[in-house]
Amino acid sequence: MNFKFFMEVLFPRRCLRCRNTLTNGVVCDQCLVAVTIHDSLFCGKCKARLPSARKICHNDFPYILGAAGSYGDKTIQTLIHHLKFRGIRDAAEPLAEIIVRYLSKLEIDLTHYYIVPIPLSQKRRRERGFNQSERIGAIVAKQLAIPIETTCLIRARHTAAQSTTKSASERRKNVNNCFAVINNSLHGKNIILVDDVTTSGATLLEAARTLKQAGVQKIIAVTAAMT
Protein backbone atom coordinates (compact mmCIF):
# COMPACT_ATOMS: atom_id res chain seq x y z
CA MET A 1 0.00 0.00 0.00
CA ASN A 2 1.58 3.29 -1.07
CA PHE A 3 1.59 6.33 1.21
CA LYS A 4 -0.83 8.38 -0.89
CA PHE A 5 -3.42 5.62 -0.93
CA PHE A 6 -2.92 5.08 2.82
CA MET A 7 -3.56 8.79 3.52
CA GLU A 8 -6.63 8.84 1.27
CA VAL A 9 -8.09 5.92 3.21
CA LEU A 10 -7.40 7.53 6.57
CA PHE A 11 -8.26 11.10 5.53
CA PRO A 12 -10.60 11.02 2.52
CA ARG A 13 -11.10 14.21 0.53
CA ARG A 14 -14.46 15.78 1.38
CA CYS A 15 -16.66 18.44 -0.19
CA LEU A 16 -16.12 21.76 1.58
CA ARG A 17 -19.87 22.36 1.56
CA CYS A 18 -21.67 19.07 2.30
CA ARG A 19 -18.71 16.96 3.52
CA ASN A 20 -19.48 14.08 1.15
CA THR A 21 -16.46 12.10 0.00
CA LEU A 22 -14.74 13.34 -3.18
CA THR A 23 -12.40 11.71 -5.65
CA ASN A 24 -10.96 15.08 -6.69
CA GLY A 25 -11.53 18.81 -6.35
CA VAL A 26 -12.86 20.64 -3.30
CA VAL A 27 -16.61 20.67 -3.88
CA CYS A 28 -18.94 17.96 -5.19
CA ASP A 29 -20.85 18.20 -8.46
CA GLN A 30 -24.19 18.21 -6.63
CA CYS A 31 -23.29 21.30 -4.59
CA LEU A 32 -21.78 23.08 -7.58
CA VAL A 33 -24.72 22.40 -9.90
CA ALA A 34 -27.13 23.62 -7.20
CA VAL A 35 -25.58 27.12 -7.22
CA THR A 36 -28.07 29.65 -8.59
CA ILE A 37 -26.44 31.59 -11.43
CA HIS A 38 -27.69 35.09 -12.23
CA ASP A 39 -28.97 35.74 -15.73
CA SER A 40 -28.22 39.45 -16.17
CA LEU A 41 -25.65 42.15 -15.71
CA PHE A 42 -26.18 44.87 -13.09
CA CYS A 43 -25.64 48.58 -12.72
CA GLY A 44 -22.45 48.97 -10.68
CA LYS A 45 -23.96 51.84 -8.71
CA CYS A 46 -27.55 50.88 -7.93
CA LYS A 47 -27.45 47.12 -8.77
CA ALA A 48 -30.40 47.44 -11.16
CA ARG A 49 -30.61 44.53 -13.60
CA LEU A 50 -29.39 45.37 -17.12
CA PRO A 51 -30.77 43.55 -20.15
CA SER A 52 -27.43 43.70 -21.99
CA ALA A 53 -23.92 45.07 -21.66
CA ARG A 54 -25.37 48.57 -21.88
CA LYS A 55 -25.95 51.19 -19.20
CA ILE A 56 -29.54 52.38 -18.83
CA CYS A 57 -29.44 54.28 -15.54
CA HIS A 58 -26.10 55.64 -14.22
CA ASN A 59 -24.36 56.34 -17.51
CA ASP A 60 -21.38 58.07 -15.91
CA PHE A 61 -20.51 55.12 -13.64
CA PRO A 62 -17.18 53.59 -14.76
CA TYR A 63 -18.21 49.94 -14.90
CA ILE A 64 -21.05 47.50 -15.42
CA LEU A 65 -21.27 44.80 -12.75
CA GLY A 66 -21.33 41.12 -13.62
CA ALA A 67 -22.01 39.12 -10.44
CA ALA A 68 -22.34 35.41 -11.12
CA GLY A 69 -24.18 34.56 -7.90
CA SER A 70 -25.15 35.70 -4.44
CA TYR A 71 -22.88 35.62 -1.41
CA GLY A 72 -25.89 34.22 0.42
CA ASP A 73 -25.39 30.99 -1.51
CA LYS A 74 -23.68 28.70 1.00
CA THR A 75 -21.54 26.93 -1.60
CA ILE A 76 -20.16 30.19 -2.99
CA GLN A 77 -19.70 31.60 0.51
CA THR A 78 -17.82 28.48 1.64
CA LEU A 79 -15.54 28.49 -1.40
CA ILE A 80 -14.64 32.17 -1.02
CA HIS A 81 -13.98 31.77 2.71
CA HIS A 82 -11.70 28.77 2.23
CA LEU A 83 -9.87 30.43 -0.67
CA LYS A 84 -9.19 33.75 1.07
CA PHE A 85 -8.89 32.85 4.72
CA ARG A 86 -7.86 29.19 4.83
CA GLY A 87 -5.46 29.12 1.90
CA ILE A 88 -7.32 26.43 -0.08
CA ARG A 89 -6.04 27.48 -3.50
CA ASP A 90 -8.04 24.84 -5.37
CA ALA A 91 -11.24 26.63 -4.31
CA ALA A 92 -10.47 29.10 -7.11
CA GLU A 93 -11.38 26.49 -9.73
CA PRO A 94 -15.09 26.04 -8.89
CA LEU A 95 -15.44 29.81 -8.37
CA ALA A 96 -14.00 30.34 -11.85
CA GLU A 97 -16.36 27.67 -13.21
CA ILE A 98 -19.30 29.57 -11.70
CA ILE A 99 -18.13 32.75 -13.45
CA VAL A 100 -17.67 30.91 -16.76
CA ARG A 101 -21.17 29.45 -16.50
CA TYR A 102 -22.49 32.93 -15.80
CA LEU A 103 -20.71 34.66 -18.70
CA SER A 104 -21.69 31.86 -21.07
CA LYS A 105 -25.29 32.24 -19.97
CA LEU A 106 -25.24 35.96 -20.83
CA GLU A 107 -23.91 35.31 -24.34
CA ILE A 108 -21.88 38.53 -24.36
CA ASP A 109 -19.32 38.99 -27.13
CA LEU A 110 -16.04 39.15 -25.19
CA THR A 111 -13.81 38.86 -28.26
CA HIS A 112 -12.03 42.16 -27.70
CA TYR A 113 -11.80 42.10 -23.89
CA TYR A 114 -8.83 41.56 -21.59
CA ILE A 115 -9.10 40.06 -18.12
CA VAL A 116 -7.51 42.14 -15.35
CA PRO A 117 -7.61 40.67 -11.82
CA ILE A 118 -7.83 42.99 -8.83
CA PRO A 119 -4.23 43.13 -7.53
CA LEU A 120 -3.09 42.63 -3.94
CA SER A 121 -0.42 44.65 -2.19
CA GLN A 122 2.96 42.95 -1.96
CA LYS A 123 2.48 42.62 1.80
CA ARG A 124 -0.93 40.93 1.50
CA ARG A 125 0.33 38.65 -1.27
CA ARG A 126 3.26 37.52 0.87
CA GLU A 127 0.92 36.87 3.79
CA ARG A 128 -1.58 34.88 1.71
CA GLY A 129 0.93 33.32 -0.66
CA PHE A 130 -1.17 34.04 -3.74
CA ASN A 131 -3.70 36.46 -5.22
CA GLN A 132 -7.13 34.79 -5.18
CA SER A 133 -8.51 37.08 -7.89
CA GLU A 134 -5.57 36.30 -10.16
CA ARG A 135 -6.06 32.55 -9.69
CA ILE A 136 -9.76 32.86 -10.55
CA GLY A 137 -9.05 35.18 -13.47
CA ALA A 138 -6.40 32.90 -14.96
CA ILE A 139 -8.81 29.95 -15.04
CA VAL A 140 -11.61 32.06 -16.56
CA ALA A 141 -9.18 33.42 -19.17
CA LYS A 142 -8.05 29.92 -20.14
CA GLN A 143 -11.55 28.47 -20.38
CA LEU A 144 -12.94 31.37 -22.41
CA ALA A 145 -9.76 31.97 -24.43
CA ILE A 146 -9.51 35.60 -23.31
CA PRO A 147 -6.09 37.25 -22.81
CA ILE A 148 -5.16 38.15 -19.24
CA GLU A 149 -3.06 41.11 -18.08
CA THR A 150 -1.63 40.91 -14.55
CA THR A 151 1.15 43.51 -14.58
CA CYS A 152 -0.51 46.74 -15.70
CA LEU A 153 -2.78 47.46 -12.71
CA ILE A 154 -0.99 47.36 -9.36
CA ARG A 155 -1.88 47.99 -5.73
CA ALA A 156 0.25 51.06 -5.08
CA ARG A 157 -0.17 50.99 -1.31
CA HIS A 158 -1.15 48.43 1.29
CA THR A 159 -4.67 48.75 2.71
CA ALA A 160 -6.56 47.09 5.51
CA ALA A 161 -8.75 44.17 4.46
CA GLN A 162 -12.16 45.49 3.40
CA SER A 163 -13.78 42.88 5.65
CA THR A 164 -12.38 44.75 8.68
CA THR A 165 -14.16 48.02 7.84
CA LYS A 166 -17.54 48.84 9.33
CA SER A 167 -19.29 50.99 6.72
CA ALA A 168 -19.39 51.81 3.02
CA SER A 169 -17.74 55.17 3.67
CA GLU A 170 -14.88 53.45 5.51
CA ARG A 171 -14.46 51.04 2.61
CA ARG A 172 -14.24 53.91 0.13
CA LYS A 173 -11.72 55.74 2.29
CA ASN A 174 -9.67 52.59 2.80
CA VAL A 175 -9.08 52.01 -0.93
CA ASN A 176 -8.88 55.67 -2.01
CA ASN A 177 -5.98 56.09 -4.46
CA CYS A 178 -4.66 52.59 -3.69
CA PHE A 179 -4.29 51.50 -7.34
CA ALA A 180 -2.01 52.63 -10.14
CA VAL A 181 -1.48 51.77 -13.80
CA ILE A 182 2.22 51.39 -14.60
CA ASN A 183 2.16 51.10 -18.41
CA ASN A 184 -0.14 51.95 -21.31
CA SER A 185 -0.74 48.41 -22.57
CA LEU A 186 -4.46 48.63 -21.77
CA HIS A 187 -5.06 52.05 -23.33
CA GLY A 188 -8.10 51.88 -25.58
CA LYS A 189 -8.89 48.29 -24.52
CA ASN A 190 -12.05 46.75 -23.05
CA ILE A 191 -11.58 45.13 -19.66
CA ILE A 192 -13.13 42.36 -17.58
CA LEU A 193 -12.10 43.32 -14.06
CA VAL A 194 -12.12 40.15 -11.92
CA ASP A 195 -12.55 39.80 -8.15
CA ASP A 196 -13.96 37.11 -5.88
CA VAL A 197 -16.80 39.06 -4.25
CA THR A 198 -18.18 42.59 -4.15
CA THR A 199 -19.89 44.12 -1.13
CA SER A 200 -20.01 47.91 -1.25
CA GLY A 201 -18.27 48.00 -4.64
CA ALA A 202 -15.58 50.36 -3.31
CA THR A 203 -12.64 48.25 -4.48
CA LEU A 204 -14.05 47.71 -7.97
CA LEU A 205 -14.94 51.39 -8.26
CA GLU A 206 -11.46 52.58 -7.32
CA ALA A 207 -9.83 50.10 -9.70
CA ALA A 208 -12.21 51.07 -12.51
CA ARG A 209 -11.58 54.78 -11.98
CA THR A 210 -7.84 54.19 -12.16
CA LEU A 211 -8.18 52.17 -15.36
CA LYS A 212 -10.46 54.78 -16.93
CA GLN A 213 -7.90 57.49 -16.18
CA ALA A 214 -5.36 55.34 -18.03
CA GLY A 215 -7.55 55.29 -21.14
CA VAL A 216 -9.40 52.00 -20.80
CA GLN A 217 -12.70 51.91 -22.70
CA LYS A 218 -15.48 49.57 -21.50
CA ILE A 219 -15.19 47.85 -18.11
CA ILE A 220 -17.27 44.88 -16.94
CA ALA A 221 -16.42 44.08 -13.32
CA VAL A 222 -17.05 40.36 -12.82
CA THR A 223 -17.20 38.61 -9.46
CA ALA A 224 -18.26 35.17 -8.30
CA ALA A 225 -20.73 36.80 -5.92
CA MET A 226 -22.21 40.01 -4.61
CA THR A 227 -23.69 40.66 -1.19
The pLDDT tens digits of the residues spanning 164-174 come to 787 888 888 98
pLDDT digits (tens, 9 = 90+) for 202-221: 999 999 999 999 999 999 99
Number of domains in the chain: 1
pLDDT digits (tens, 9 = 90+) for 94-151: 999 999 999 999 988 999 999 999 999 999 999 999 999 999 999 999 999 999 999 9
Order of strands across the sheet with 113-117?
Answer: 49-50, 41-43, 64-70, 219-226, 190-198, 113-117
Q: How far is CA 3 from the centre of its chain?
A: 36
Beta strands at 179-181 and 41-43: parallel, antiparallel or unpaired: unpaired
In a domain, 71, yes or no: yes
Q: What is the pLDDT of residue 51?
A: 80
Burial of 190 (0-12, 13-18, 19+ CB in 10 A): middle
In a domain, 5, yes or no: no
The whole model's pTM is what? Answer: 0.92
Q: Which amino acid is at 127?
A: E
In a domain, 51, yes or no: yes
Euclidean distance between CA atoms 209 and 227, whole angstroms: 22
Pick the closest to residue 119 from 154, 161, 71, 80 (CA basis): 154
pLDDT digits (tens, 9 = 90+) for 27-78: 999 999 999 999 999 999 999 999 877 888 999 999 999 999 999 999 999 9
Q: Which amino acid is at 73?
A: D
In a domain, 212, yes or no: yes
Domain span holding position 121:
37-226
Furthest-apart CA atoms within the chain: distance in Å? 64
In a domain, 24, yes or no: no
Of the chain, the percentage scoring pLDDT greater than 70 comes to 95
In a domain, 27, yes or no: no
In a domain, 187, yes or no: yes
More confident residue, 9 or 111: 111
In a domain, 9, yes or no: no
Which CATH number covers residue 77?
A: 3.40.50
What is the DSSP secondary-structure string of 11-74? S--B-TTT--B-SSSSS-HHHHHTSPPP-SEEETTT--EESSSS-SS-TTSS-EEEEEEETTSH
Q: Is the pLDDT of residue 1 over 60?
A: no
